[in-house]
Amino acid sequence: MAKIRIGILGGSGYGGAELLRILLFHPDAEIRWVAAREHAGKRVEEVHPNLLRITPMTFCAAPEPGGCTELDLVFLALPHGEAMSVVPKLPPTVRVIDLSGDFRLQRAETY
């Protein structure tokens, strides 16, 4: 079985850090990149000391949403309100999991 190719937008915050920690140990996950606007170019362990010696990854700047065609899944760990502007620009073949409240259901009946 092929691994799920994953990108993470907003990897420098608490939610992004915990998500990254979990996915690094998931046998079916292949993290292609983790983006953090303010920390682009820094090693992940510099920002998240709890990941010291667990990953050699470096934060990148967020890629253009249309350029995510090599991914199966994008996690959004962005500040409130930012996911709404990113999701419509992503390729339709990429699944999205949003950790923010931007796409929460408004009515219990819909759930």
When pLDDT is cut at 50, 70 and 90, the band that residue 3 belongs to is: very high
Predicted TM-score (pTM) of the model is 0.89
pLDDT confidence band for 63 (50 / 70 / 90): confident
Q: What is the pLDDT of residue 111?
A: 65
Size of the chain in residues: 111
93 Cβ contact list (under 8 Å, min separation 6): 69
Q: Is the model's pLDDT at 105 over the cut of 80?
A: no
Pair 41, 59: CB distance under 8 Å: yes
**What was the pLDDT predicted at 67?**
75
- Rounded Cα distance between 39 and 25, Å, is 23
Confidence band for 35, pLDDT divided at 50, 70 and 90: very high
